[in-house]
Homo-oligomer: A and B are copies of this chain.
């Protein structure tokens, strides 16, 4: 079995998945604690994507730990293709959600300065959530690339 840092069935892979879970959970928490976030499509969309990300990362972390404890090989082309396709799709969704929310937050904070005028708008929570979402995306992109690199090495 080839060892690529961060790929499925390695301890670095487990660490990467657990970090994704932590960042996605923190980002969701920051977003959900902001008053009225669900009135804005971009934030509602990011919330959905973050939940998807959390479920997927948790599932893969469990699968990795199970495979490591039972010495099961997750590096078959069939398994890898499945992980890589979903990883890439999720990374794209995560990036689009983070960009969309960042755009709306910048609009509120700088373009129309609504945060100063309307103090109930939770701009700080939104900004924190967007930052954490970008970090989640970076970690997800790292997982996607290591899986993809491993998959390419089969051809």
Contacts and interface: CB of A to CB of B under 8 A. Distances in A.
Interface in A69-120: 92, 95-96, 99-104, 106-107, 110-111
A23 to B, nearest CB: 19
Contact of A101 (B92, B95, B103): B103
A155 to B, nearest CB: 8
B152 A111 contact: no
A100 to B, nearest CB: 3
Contacts of A104: 103-104, 107
A100 B100 CA distance: 5
A42 interface: yes
Interface string A141-155: 000000000001000
Interface of A: 39-42, 92, 95-96, 99-104, 106-107, 110-111, 152
Given A100-B102, A100-B103, A152-B152, 17 more contacts: A39-B111, A40-B107, A41-B103, A41-B107, A41-B110, A41-B111, A42-B103, A42-B106, A95-B95, A95-B99, A96-B99, A99-B99, A99-B100, A99-B103, A100-B100, A103-B103, A103-B104
